[in-house]
């Protein structure tokens, strides 16, 4: 693939490692084949593409690599040990290559999208209405992300305007990963209203 692109275009300016595999499975139920399939697609695939594209980028003295990860690369997430582990590996790879390859004019960054209601995600991750509503309501702005919002961030990080950004992860999830509260905001507001009402009565 890399050789074909170089043969036709002369060089590779941008590589986006966007291939992924994921499905919900408790760790105790995950088969070795299930584990291997996701690790091969997400972690190994990102490394192989970066490795071979990186060689030609080094030769030409420039290049931009963008990896797609997920916030559970650093938080973990029940039911996705295979994907979380693979994404954590890609995160480490992003930062390592950013340091190693900056001297060759290559920037390596990542984006971590939150839930985006694509057809594939809908089938694999929130196929039942309860799951869909639960995830949507966990997002502070109460909606799923849009594909173009992720694409806009990717375009920015691969543009000249981001030439001083290297080894970073841009989170695009409307604050979802920060929303790990012990208490529910609606419940807190209801409690405060109830206390205010009782104080007024007294």
pLDDT digits (tens, 9 = 90+) for 124-161: 778 888 888 988 999 999 999 999 999 999 999 999 99
**Residue 109's pLDDT band (cuts 50, 70, 90):** very high
Residues annotated catalytic, as ranges: 72
Whether residue 18 has pLDDT greater than 60: yes
42: domain CATH number is 3.40.50.720
Domain that holds residue 20: 2-201
In the chain, the number of structural domains is 1
Q: How far apart are the first and last CA of the chain?
A: 76
Per-residue confidence (pLDDT) for residue 125, from 0 to 100: 79
Annotate 25-64 with DSSP letters as a single string.
B-GGG--HHHHHHHHIIIIIHHHHHHHHHHHHHHHHT-EE
* C-alpha span between 107 and 163 (Å, rounded): 8
Q: What is the pLDDT of the chain when averaged over all its residues?
A: 91
pTM strictly above 0.85: yes
């Amino acid at each position: 693939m890399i050789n074909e692109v170089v043969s036709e275009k002369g060089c590779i300016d941008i590589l986006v490692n966007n291939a992924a595999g994921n499905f919900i499975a408790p760790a105790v139920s995950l088969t070795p084949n299930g584990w291997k399939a996701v690790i091969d697609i997400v972690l190994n695939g990102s490394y192989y593409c970066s490795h071979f594209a990186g060689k030609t980028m080094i030769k030409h003295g420039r290049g931009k690599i963008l990896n797609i990860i997920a916030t559970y690369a650093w938080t973990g997430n029940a039911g996705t040990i295979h994907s979380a582990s693979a994404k954590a590996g890609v995160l480490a790879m992003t930062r390592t290559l950013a340091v190693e390859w900056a001297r060759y004019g290559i920037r390596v960054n990542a984006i971590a999208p939150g839930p985006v209601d694509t057809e594939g995600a809908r089938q694999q991750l929130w196929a039942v209405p309860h799951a869909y509503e639960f995830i949507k309501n966990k997002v502070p702005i109460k909606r799923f992300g849009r594909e173009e919002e992720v694409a806009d961030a990717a375009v920015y990080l691969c543009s000249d305007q981001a030439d001083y950004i290297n080894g970073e992860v841009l989170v695009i999830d409307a604050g979802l990963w920060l929303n790990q509260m012990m208490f529910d905001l609606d419940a807190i507001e209801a409690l405060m209203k109830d206390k205010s009402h009782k104080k007024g009565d007294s």
